[in-house]
Structure 1
Amino acid sequence: MTTGVRRGQWQTAADVLARVSRQPGITRAAVARELRLSTGSATEITARLRDVHLLTEAPAPSQGRGRPTTVLRAHPQGPVALALDLRQGSWRSAVVSLDGSFLDQQSKRHRSRRPQVVLGNLQRVVKDTQQQYGERLQVVGLAAPGTIRDNRLMQAPTLDWAELDLETITDLPLLAGNDATLSGVAEARTGAAAGAGTALHLIVEVGIGGTLLIDGVPAQGASGAGGEYGHVPFGDRSRPCPCGARGCWDLEIDGRALARHLKEPAPKDPYGYTEAVLQRTDRAAARAVARVVAALAAGIAGLVNAHDPDVVTLGGLAIPLRAAAESTFEQAYLAGLMNFHRASPPPVLPAAHQPDGPLRGAAALALDYLTAEPFIAGWADRP
């Protein structure tokens, strides 16, 4: 192995691994170009990473004449991460290799939404993965539907959870984040917002959440709770929200709002209720959907005025809601913009990573950990 190698000597290797994790299928020649490495340096660095079981190489498809190159892939004995996506009604998991490949994916619905039961199920997923992969499993990334601070779920109004220690699910390093924020990270890395300097990502499921990303990095706020757009008071100030505030935007753009407009009982499953209403063809349903879409578009315009993004990406139920009343969306969006935005409004695009944006975002957090210089140096120094 390479015991005694100084950590600073792994910095370029970390840059190489970061490219591999964010650009699956990248060739050694492409990495050399992007990092401005000589052919010899690229060959030497990839050899070192191969020696410590981080990368392997395979012949790249022939491009005609010229020196052959190789595709860089995760080593079959290298470290892996576990990505978890906790949702209101279910959870998903995937083992993630250094080249971003998803392995051993699972998805199950909650039999009980009591936090002890749900977190216990996630704990079993982690333990089962540890039994399968042994010491190769090095980190867990988790996306969760609520406000997260220092791996604690501070508040999840849609689940009626508060003040939960998420680190109970594993003794491995845990990197937890809000599901909408991590979905935005996925879009900024490899999705519809890739390359944008400033991007706004919003996702509608039960309520709405999102994140503002600057050069691919989410604006987390002073305590890590940034992006709670669903609790901006864009709604009726007389209406209380489960979060404790009044007039939250959350209450205007999901199944709860649709039920109010249709004068039907509040749904136990707002997500499923929204899907059902979108399948209806009666006029009452169409009017209810139009009102919700108008509230969604007007709020997006307000956030565009506040943040001035290059692009807005939408995930979750925001995509079919908009599609069901496209003209209503466009009218409300343009009407809510300041004059100088209207000539060239930021495009509002569907998210590319549907429906697994939060899972891919959790994987991105974990891969950032595995491709950082301190981890690489520690992995290389193993006995």
Structure 2
Amino acid sequence: MTGATTSVELRAHNRVRLLRAVHDCGAGRTRSQLTRDLGLARGTASVLVAGLAEDELLHEEPAAGRARGRPTQIPGPHPRGPVALAVDVREDAWELAECELGGRTTVLEVGPHDGTPEGALAPLGEAVAAHRRRLGHRVAGVGVALAGPVRPGGLVDIGHLGWRSVDVPLLLGLGPGTPIAVGNDTAFAALAEARRGRLRGVRVGLHLHVDFDVGGVLVVDGRPLQGAGGMGAEFGHMPLGGGDRPCACGAVGCWGMDVGANALLRHVGLAYGGGRGRAQAEHVLATSEEAVAAGARALGRGVAALVNAHDPEVVTLSGLGAELRERAGEALVAACEPGLMSIRRDRPPLIESSALGWRGALLGAMESVFDAFLTIEGLELWRRNRGDGGPDTPERQNVTNSTFAEDNSI
């Protein structure tokens, strides 16, 4: 059921469906394939595509390899169409990308930072503002992934960096109502894995992202489950590793103390903490089999506990988690198996590396922007604002602020 009661409402609904289908398939299916997928009449699809092209939302290109007859057209992003600005803020650097409808991503800037909220977010805000001025009305929104739990209003806590209730939109210099989605990096990575990676089509999956420590989230029917306040699934702060070290989060024995770059550094006696030592950790990963095996075993023990609790079909690993699997997969599986309940051992879940590498959080930030944009309201806003002079005009800013809300539901 669409809920549409008039031909105008049905057309608006089908415009969204078609754009969503183009985006979800990576702009890789022909118009005739999309028409069949969506159950549309050919004439209806032609009218929709023509209207979306006129609104600079879609542009068709001939499919490659067609030698005879009428060329098959593939709908894709318009060269003057909407883009998402997506950011992955890691503990020691940020990465800013421009993302088109369909998911094609171009990295614009990478900036190291000093680990403080102001040192990380103020220069990033300047970069975002410069690209918003350049792109004008084309910016559908800004998605920001951060390595910590995010509360409503875009407030983030990153215990090992000393961040407490940091107002991300404020420090980025984005005004109230600016189209922005702020979320946890693991939750965003899981969202991307469900849309474009190995969790696509998986009913219940578990995604774990390992950087300086480990984070994880359960994915059900394509959506990461983040709890009532958006701060659930902090698997890295569960006592799954059997240790007793105090964690910067305030708890003792957190699993994240034994898995990730900090654990690698500590294993070989190097200084760690505060988001420093990425290069040294990568050197340890490449040179110390003992440290890698220890990290893989700790990862495997925690995976077993989570599998017992959640019964996922597939477990995906990104970041250093994928590298631990590739370098010490046997140790990981050997540590996981004894921790599984006997009924789980007969059919254990697959443990696989992410299909998206380190880009999962960035792509998830993109998806959160397009989720807000690919709505009837979002497309109507685009139609009204197209060519109005860009985001710095009062008209554009007021309309944007009144239409988009912060999205912390991921």
1:11 matches 2:47 = no
When normalised by structure 1's length, the TM-score is: 0.91
Helix, strand or coil at the partner of 1:11:
helix
Measured after TM superposition, the shift of residue 225 of structure 1 is 0.8
Q: Which runs of 5+ in 1 are unaligned?
A: none
1:302 shift after superposition:
0.9
Q: Which moved more, 1:55-64 or 1:71-80?
A: 55-64
Q: Would you say 1:295 and 2:301 are equivalent positions?
A: no
User: What's the offset of the Cα at 1:159?
Assistant: 2.1
Where do residues 152-231 of structure 1 align in structure 2 (5 Å cutoff)?
A: 152-168=154-170, 169=172, 170-171=174-175, 172-231=178-237
Establish whether residue 330 from structure 1 lines up as the match of residue 333 from structure 2.
Answer: yes
Query: 1:86 is matched with which residue?
Result: 89
Once the 2 structures are TM-superposed, how far is the Cα of residue 100 of structure 1 from its aligned partner?
A: 2.0
What is the CA distance between 1:187 and its match in structure 2? 0.9
* 1:128 equivalenced with 2:134 (yes/no): no
Give distance in 2, aligned partners of 1:264 and 1:127.
Answer: 39
Q: Answer whether contact 2:197 2:356 (CA < 8 A) is retained.
A: yes
Asked whether 1:276 is paired with 2:278, we answer no
Q: Is the 8 A contact 2:265 2:284 kept in 1?
A: no
Q: Is residue 146–residue 153 contact of structure 1 (8 Å, CA) maintained in 2?
A: no
- How many Å separate the matches in 1 of 2:286 and 2:65? 48
Shift of the 7–157 alpha-carbon distance from structure 1 to 2, 3 Å rule, reads farther
Q: Deviation of residue 20 (structure 1)?
A: 1.2
* Alpha-carbon separation, structure 2, partners of 1:215 and 1:373: 23
User: Paired residue for 2:42, among 36, 39, 44?
Assistant: 39
Deviations 1:127-147 (A, max 9, x none): 111221112223101111110
Which range moved further: 294-303 or 364-373? Answer: 364-373
CA RMSD across the alignment: 2.2
Could you give the per-residue CA deviations for residues 170-225 of structure 1, whole angstroms, max 9, x where no partner exists? 23211011011111111111112111111111011011012211111111101001
What is the CA distance between 1:271 and its match in structure 2? 3.8
Runs of 5+ unmatched residues, structure 2: 1-6, 387-410
Following TM superposition, the consecutive aligned residue runs of length 4 or more in structure 1 with deviations greater than 6 angstroms are: none
Q: Deviations over 1:323-344 (max 9, x none)?
A: 3322211111111111122122
2:145 matched residue in structure 1: 143
The answer as to whether partners of 1:182 and 1:360 remain within 8 angstroms in 2 is yes
**Displacement after TM superposition at 1:98 (Å):** 1.9
What is the deviation of 1:270? 5.1
Cα distance between partner residues in 2 of 1:317 and 1:14: 37
Amino acid of the structure 2 residue aligned with 1:213: V
Distance 1:178 1:6 in 2: 38
Write the distance in 2 (CA, Å) between the matches of 1:270 and 1:200.
28
Q: Distance in 1 between matches of 2:261 and 2:42?
A: 56
For the residues of structure 2 that align with 1:105 and 1:276, how far apart are their CA atoms?
A: 27
Residues 8-46 of structure 1 show CA distances to partners (whole Å, capped at 9, x for unaligned) of 541111111111112122221121111111111111111
Shift of 1:236: 4.3
Matched letter for residue 60 of structure 1: A
CA distance in 2: counterparts of 1:267 and 1:375, whole angstroms: 42
Distance (whole Å) between structure 2 residues aligned to residue 7 and residue 174 of structure 1: 27
Native 8 Å contact 1:50 1:56 kept in 2: yes
2:358 counterpart of 1:355: yes
Amino acid paired to 2:227: G
Relative to structure 2, which stretch is displaced further, 158-167 or 293-302? Answer: 158-167
Identical aligned residues as a percent: 36
Correspondence list, 1:47-62, <5 A:
47-62=50-65
Offset, 1:235 = 3.4
Confirm whether residue 251 of structure 1 aligns to residue 254 of structure 2.
Answer: no
**Aligned partners of 2:385 and 2:190: how far apart in 1?**
35
Equivalent position amino acid for 1:290 in 2: A
**Residue 145 of structure 2 contacts residue 185 of structure 2 at CA under 8 Å; is this kept in 1?**
yes
Distance 2:88 2:266 in 1: 30
Does the Cα contact within 8 Å between 1:21 and 1:100 map onto a contact in 2? yes
Quote how far apart the aligned CAs of 1:164 are. 1.1
| Of 225, 228, 240, the match for 1:234 | 240
Give SS of 1:325's match.
Answer: helix
How many residue pairs get aligned? The number is: 375
Q: Which residue, 336, 351, 373 being the options, matches 2:376?
A: 373
Give distance in 2, aligned partners of 1:203 and 1:153.
Answer: 21
Q: Is the 8 A contact 1:239 1:247 kept in 2?
A: yes
Q: Is the 8 A contact 2:240 2:305 kept in 1?
A: no
Structure 2 CA distance, aligned partners of 1:189 and 1:221?
20
